[in-house]
A and B are shown apart, each in its own frame.
Chain A
Amino acid sequence: MSSWINLQAVGEIVVVGLLAGAGLPAIFALGLRALGMPGKGHVTASDDELAGGSTAGIAIATVCIAVVLAAIGYGIYIIVISGHGAK
């Protein structure tokens, strides 16, 4: 069994995959939601555009998107340093 399936690797793929694959999109969605919060700033944008409404919303969205970008950057960094070209 263990020569067929590396259970530890599968477990890590499931856990990290859930965190990165479902968690990061959720944080991104939260950021979008915050960006869409109503407020004073939302005046000129047409219906199809994304515009920051309130200052607090823009701040939350910035944090969310920064977290997502940082996680992606870290993930790519891990893959690059352990990959083919690193040797």
Chain B
Amino acid sequence: MREGSRRHGFRIGQIGSASLVSLAHGTNDAQKTMGIITLAPIANGTLAAGATTPLWVIVLCALAIASGTYSGGWRVIRTLGKGLVEIEPPQGFAAESSSAAVILLSTHFGYSLSTTQVATGSILGCGLGKEGAQVRWNVAGRMGVAWIVTLPSAGLMGAISYFIADGVGGTAGILVDMLILIAISAGIYWRSRSTRVSRKNVNSEWTGTVAPAQAG
């Protein structure tokens, strides 16, 4: 079969498999975010104890996750699809399909897991199976370290936010927290612009870092 039409066919397939990963992400990962946000008004007494997730939480979470994927997605795509192992549409299609299947099944049984971890595992597997492909274990190791560091640092951030909000007190404390977090997010975003990853350079040669050698 011709290489061009093979790529084309699997790229069409990827539209379906990527959509299924999105669906799986929504049934699993996104539920945690919505659950925590719903828990806050319940703990505060704003919502009744038996309340279901309000519509505004669902809409806001969907918007936030979509805009995060839109703004930061290229960097993750590059790390997973180029840095970890260089994959082509057939591998991407296989990795997405198996990720979607595993996550949707786990959702069905009520297990919460991480889309990132499942997808990384699938991509590693595809990379090992692809002839001549090289898995960059140092990239995999760096991701593993990041996952371990995430747990305590997220806890630390939560504690710091609580002490600031509690120290200042009331609505003002929440606003101070919010302004600090917005400032930090803006700083991270601004910093990321200097080594921008976009559709133009997402597949540039991997030189050891997420940021491609030449600014695209």
Residues of chain B from 87 to 128 with CB closer than 8 A to chain A in the complex: 90, 93-94, 97-102, 104-109, 111
CB of A79 within 8 A of CB of B111, answer no
CB distance from A25 to the nearest CB of B (A): 4
Interface 9-residue window, one of B6-14, B37-45, B162-170, B187-195: B6-14
Query: Which of these, A12, A16, A25, contacts B97 with CB under 8 Å?
Result: A25
Tally chain A residues at the interface, Cβ within 8 Å: 31
CB of A79 within 8 A of CB of B4, answer no
Contacts of B93 in A (CB 8 A): 25, 28
Q: How large is the interface on B (under 10, 10 to 19, 20 to 34, 35 or more residues)?
A: 20 to 34
Which residue of chain B has the shortest Cβ distance to A87 in the bound complex? B52
Query: Which of these, B6, B12, B23, contacts A76 with CB under 8 Å?
Result: B23
Q: Is the interface of B mostly helix, strand, loop or mixed?
A: helix
Q: How far is the CA of A72 from the CA of B27 in the complex (A)?
A: 15
Contacts of B153 in A (CB 8 A): none
Query: Which of these, B2, B8, B98, B105, contacts A12 with CB under 8 Å?
Result: B105
Is B16 in the interface zone, CB < 8 Å from A? yes
Give me 11 other A-B pairs in contact (C-beta within 8 A), A20-B97, A35-B9, A36-B5 excluded: A12-B105, A17-B102, A21-B101, A22-B94, A28-B93, A28-B97, A36-B1, A50-B5, A50-B8, A76-B23, A82-B108
Q: Which residues of B contact A (CB under 8 A)?
A: 1-2, 4-10, 12-13, 16-17, 20, 23, 27, 90, 93-94, 97-102, 104-109, 111
